[in-house]
Homo-oligomer: A and B are copies of this chain.
């Protein structure tokens, strides 16, 4: 259950309208790694989790914060769009290159569809979609997805920081970047927490019996390109992070088999194959066509 307060966690007001920047800021609202993704990902992980206690509480606690971040960005974008010109700028597109540049860089659906409002889309206008989120039920994998989400989010916010000098926008981004710092650290800590509690280990999923995997190839780097430098990395020799083995290096595949022969499905699927499409059959079809007339 969610209760709403007409407050924001941090001030979200630009110093001045900027329709071009509003479009860019959509990325961290409705993009692949925007706040809608983050909020929904933590929400679904919470609803799907199989353990009561600290991990579920963590997911609930932070999901709700992130829905508030969605709100902060949406109201910021609406304010950035507040004075987006309509006819005036359009006239300008033809004669005033400065305003013309503004129009060229803004998201036209901000004006036509939303009437100067925020939208659940990314900075190219692609609608947010459910396939952006990850919730597998395995917390070690999902917390790794979360750490990545917070990293990508912080990178994007840092890039956006340099694309404006608006003090109000900087103020909000400064807050969001700090929260990303916290959340990166938090998920990395939670990963170690899971391992130290002994309920998940590497490789994920740790309780799939490794005796069932093909252990000849489980710790060997195989180099399918002709660059020699990959051999110098810590992934080519030395102990493996899961603590179960040592890395080895192979220049190319260590095994191969011939390509299997082509398949021959049911003739009534009308694929091209030597059995069903002989010259004789083709001639018969033609004859059939001719006779039919």
**A130 to B129 CA separation, bound complex (whole angstroms):** 6
Question: B228 touching A115 by the CB < 8 A rule?
Answer: no
A258 to nearest B CB, angstroms? Answer: 6
0/1 per residue, A234-256, Cβ < 8 Å to B?
Answer: 11001011111101000011011
0/1 per residue, A48-73, Cβ < 8 Å to B?
Answer: 11111111111011111101101100
Question: B154 touching A205 by the CB < 8 A rule?
Answer: yes
Question: B113 touching A27 by the CB < 8 A rule?
Answer: yes
Q: How many copies does the complex hold?
A: 6
Q: List 21 A-B contacts (CB under 8 A).
A: A1-B7, A2-B67, A9-B255, A24-B112, A27-B108, A32-B113, A47-B71, A48-B115, A50-B262, A56-B227, A56-B262, A115-B265, A117-B137, A117-B271, A151-B204, A175-B214, A182-B220, A207-B281, A207-B285, A215-B293, A244-B289
Given A233-B58, A266-B83, answer yes or no on A12-B260 (Cβ-Cβ < 8 Å).
Answer: yes
Question: A269 touching B174 by the CB < 8 A rule?
Answer: no
* In-complex Cβ contact of A62 among B114, B120, B224, B261 (8 A): B224
**A292 to B253 CA separation, bound complex (whole angstroms):** 22
| Residue in A180, A207, A223 with the greatest tally of chain B CB atoms within 10 Å | A207
Given A258-B7, A271-B136, answer yes or no on A2-B224 (Cβ-Cβ < 8 Å).
Answer: yes
| A179 neighbours in B (Cβ, 8 Å) | 217-218
| A232 neighbours in B (Cβ, 8 Å) | 53-54
* In-complex Cβ contact of A98 among B24, B97, B139 (8 A): B97
0/1 per residue, A174-205, Cβ < 8 Å to B?
Answer: 11011111101111111011101111111111
| A134 neighbours in B (Cβ, 8 Å) | 32, 148, 152
Question: A78 touching B117 by the CB < 8 A rule?
Answer: no
Question: A182 touching B98 by the CB < 8 A rule?
Answer: no
Interface size class of chain A, counting residues whose CB lies under 8 Å from the partner chain? 35 or more
A15 CB within 8 Å of chain B: no
| A24 neighbours in B (Cβ, 8 Å) | 108, 112
Question: A278 touching B198 by the CB < 8 A rule?
Answer: yes
Question: A219 touching B155 by the CB < 8 A rule?
Answer: no
| A212 neighbours in B (Cβ, 8 Å) | 161, 174, 177
Question: A101 touching B112 by the CB < 8 A rule?
Answer: no
**A128 to B43 CA separation, bound complex (whole angstroms):** 15
0/1 per residue, A29-55, Cβ < 8 Å to B?
Answer: 011100010001001100111111111
Given A97-B101, A262-B49, answer yes or no on A108-B136 (Cβ-Cβ < 8 Å).
Answer: no
| A120 neighbours in B (Cβ, 8 Å) | 40, 44, 130, 133
Given A10-B255, A57-B230, A293-B245, answer yes or no on A199-B282 (Cβ-Cβ < 8 Å).
Answer: yes
Question: A64 touching B207 by the CB < 8 A rule?
Answer: no
Question: A210 touching B181 by the CB < 8 A rule?
Answer: yes
- Which residue of chain B lies nearest to A134 when distances are taken between CB atoms in the complex? B152
